[in-house]
């Protein structure tokens, strides 16, 4: 099926939309230069403040995204370490069960030792109670000499460790990592294996991997000296990594691996880094333009040379400046939203963003649709309180954070619980309501979790109503837990999620708006675009608040559970 994305915005600001221009009547011949200087100073202060705020918010958001991605990379390293221990454990158990059979050891070695295998060499050690001696080996010659005191000490140390023990081989300028494992309950058998380290320490990174957006270096132990370097994706001349970095310690046998990571580029996209410059350049241009207009107004009023037509022309210039500022805000808002929706199997998708008519600031309404894997998709619709750069920055932060957690495979209620710990109204100055869902593209089962948001509409060929969810606290109030609600979409039924600007009208109960919206749903089958158009047509004529809407129809095969689906509540 195809995915359809529809977006629209308001027309350019009208003369009645601009802030009132105060009439300047110089008392006793006020200086045009003085008035122009005041306007220029105020404009510069506002421009620099907004640009600095945008830069600070982008820097903080980039660091949070770096921490999230570094934790993902650390999880990949932890899985790799676990995959190295499992064969060693298995080999030790087999040797103990078979009475130190070298034949069984050889079978183990053929699977895990050799080129393109986890280990380049492995040695079976046994003890007669007084001393350790090697009895079988496989692969390359170990760098740690079999008759060395270091080898015996490493084996002896493993008897007192609940985990495998690790050592750099050799200790200075290591070329391999040595692993020793034994069972303290049966101190007669031990396995020693070595894993190669690239000679230049540089390892390639696959596209799409957890490390693909990061520059990284791993070190054996807690230190980050070059002498402890294990692997990196950078030339050695560029170490240590500088700039915005994150460090994570990962358990590694009886020791640890220290991961240091830095972003290769903007993790949240290039727009966040460009926003401060957009505001700075745009603000400077607007300040210069406003200062010039101010000078002209004061000068012409002072000399009594401007007639009614000239004044109307100057007001038109001001209207153009405000319209340009509104156009910039609209363009930035559209840039923060998804430019297109991904194609999802068995779904018809339509989305729409309607900008409000009040003010010229960016809003915090948003939607997001992602493909998690071949069988699942995720979506979210949210609304950040307030307007302006800070609200837009928090909206972008929430969108990317929710998206990252969904891609990691977390269910909706867990996603909201984790995000609730990252937003605080006392610190960030904003609240947010969010509806998060995960759907199965094979069965039409959708799981929802709600953080203070309006319930979505479920529309079938014969009925329409609101899905009742367990509504939890909005994000930013306090860390909270959330409850999942499961909905099974019948073939041809559609789910529509929206923000409150679609149903709220000044001086009217929101219940009336909700009833008006569900009553607008068609009685028979229509396209998903027509459904979206009918619902958005119920918006208040003034359109004072922003609106974000995401709708999708399940077009998959009819399941047995379709006939058993309970119809939604008329108003929920």
Domain extents in the chain? 99-196, 200-263, 338-564
- Give the pLDDT score at 368: 94
Q: Find the mean pLDDT for residues 117-121.
A: 86
Separation CA 5–CA 351 (nearest Å): 5
User: Per-residue pLDDT tens for 294-350?
Assistant: 888 878 777 765 565 666 665 676 666 555 555 555 655 555 667 688 999 999 999
- Which of 102-111, 246-255, 520-529 comes out lowest in average pLDDT? 102-111
Confidence of residue 103 (pLDDT cuts 50, 70, 90): confident
Separation CA 527–CA 533 (nearest Å): 10
Summary count for the chain: helices (H), strands (E): 10, 20
Task: Return the sign of the alpha-carbon dihedral for residues 489, 402, 371, 382.
Answer: positive
- Give the pLDDT score at 97: 77
User: Per-residue pLDDT tens for 434-445?
Assistant: 999 999 999 999
- Give the pLDDT score at 352: 92
- Give the pLDDT score at 308: 56
Separation CA 81–CA 66 (nearest Å): 22
Does pLDDT of 6 surpass 80?
A: no
Element containing residue 551 per DSSP (H, E): strand 547-554
The alpha carbon torsion through 408, 409, 410, 412 (nearest 10 deg) reads 120
- Give the pLDDT score at 9: 41
Separation CA 427–CA 425 (nearest Å): 5
* Edge-to-edge strand list for the sheet holding 464-466: 347-354, 547-554, 494-498, 457-459, 464-466
Q: Which class in CATH covers the domain with range 338-564?
A: alpha beta
User: Per-residue pLDDT tens for 63-100?
Assistant: 888 888 888 888 888 888 877 788 888 888 877 777 76
Fold entry, domain 99-196: Beta-Lactamase (3.30.450)
Q: Find the mean pLDDT for residues 282-293.
A: 88
Neighbours of 425 (CB within 10 A): 15
Separation CA 524–CA 482 (nearest Å): 35
HSE toward the beta carbon, residue 549, CA cutoff 13 A: 33
Average pLDDT, the chain: 81
User: Per-residue pLDDT tens for 233-283?
Assistant: 888 888 888 888 899 988 888 888 899 999 888 887 777 778 888 888 988
């Amino acid at each position: 099926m195809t995915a359809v994305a529809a977006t629209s915005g308001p027309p350019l600001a009208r003369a009645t939309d601009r802030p009132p221009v105060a009439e300047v009547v110089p008392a006793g011949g006020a200086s045009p230069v003085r008035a122009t200087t005041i306007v220029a100073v105020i404009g510069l202060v506002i421009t620099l403040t907004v640009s600095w705020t945008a830069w600070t918010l982008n820097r903080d958001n980039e660091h949070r995204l770096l921490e999230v991605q570094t934790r993902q990379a650390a999880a990949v390293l932890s899985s790799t370490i676990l995959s190295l221990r499992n064969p060693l454990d298995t080999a030790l158990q087999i040797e103990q069960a078979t009475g130190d059979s070298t034949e069984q050891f050889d079978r183990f070695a053929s699977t895990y030792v050799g080129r393109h295998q986890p280990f380049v060499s492995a040695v079976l050690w046994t003890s007669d109670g007084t001393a350790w001696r090697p009895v079988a080996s496989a692969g390359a010659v170990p760098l740690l000499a079999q008759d060395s005191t270091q080898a015996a000490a490493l084996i002896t140390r493993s008897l007192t460790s609940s985990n495998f023990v690790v050592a750099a081989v050799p200790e200075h300028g290591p070329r391999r990592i040595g692993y020793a494992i034994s069972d303290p309950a049966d101190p007669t058998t031990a396995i020693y294996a070595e894993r190669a380290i690239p000679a230049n320490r540089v390892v390639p990174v696959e596209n799409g991997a957890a490390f693909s957006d990061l520059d990284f270096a791993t070190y054996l132990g807690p230190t980050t000296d070059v002498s402890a370097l294990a692997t990196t994706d950078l030339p050695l001349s560029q170490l240590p990594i500088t700039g915005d970095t994150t460090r994570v310690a990962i358990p590694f046998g009886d020791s640890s691996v220290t991961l240091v990571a830095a972003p290769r580029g903007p993790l949240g996209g290039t727009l966040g880094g460009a926003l401060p410059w957009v505001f700075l350049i745009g603000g400077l241009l607007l300040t210069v333009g406003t200062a010039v207009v101010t000078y002209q107004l004061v000068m012409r009023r002072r000399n009594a040379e401007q007639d009614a037509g000239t004044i109307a022309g100057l007001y038109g210039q001001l209207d153009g400046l405000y319209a340009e500022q509104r156009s910039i805000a609209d363009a930035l808002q559209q840039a923060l939203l998804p430019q297109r929706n991904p194609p999802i199997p068995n779904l018809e998708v339509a989305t729409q963003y309607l900008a409000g008519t009040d003010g010229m600031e960016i809003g915090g309404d948003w939607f997001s649709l992602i493909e998690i894997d071949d069988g699942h998709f995720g979506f979210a619709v949210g609304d950040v309180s307030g307007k302006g750069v800070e609200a837009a920055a928090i909206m972008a932060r929430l969108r990317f954070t929710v998206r990252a957690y969904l891609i990691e495979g977390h269910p909706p209620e867990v996603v909201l619980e984790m995000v609730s710990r990252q937003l605080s109204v006392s610190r960030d100055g904003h609240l947010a309501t969010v509806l998060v869902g995960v759907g199965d593209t094979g069965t039409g089962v959708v799981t929802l979790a709600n953080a203070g948001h309006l319930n979505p509409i479920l529309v079938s060929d014969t009925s329409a109503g609101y899905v009742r969810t367990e509504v939890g606290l909005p994000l930013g109030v306090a860390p909270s837990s959330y409850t999942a609600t499961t909905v099974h979409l019948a073939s041809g039924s559609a789910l529509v999620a929206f923000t409150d600007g679609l149903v709220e009208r000044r001086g009217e109960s929101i219940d009336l708006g909700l009833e008006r919206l569900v009553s607008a749903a068609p009685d028979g089958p229509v396209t998903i675009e027509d459904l979206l158009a009918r619902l958005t047509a119920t918006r208040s004529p003034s359109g004072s608040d922003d609106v974000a809407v995401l709708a999708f129809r399940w077009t998959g095969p009819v399941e047995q559970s379709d006939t058993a689906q309970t119809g939604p509540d008329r108003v929920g």
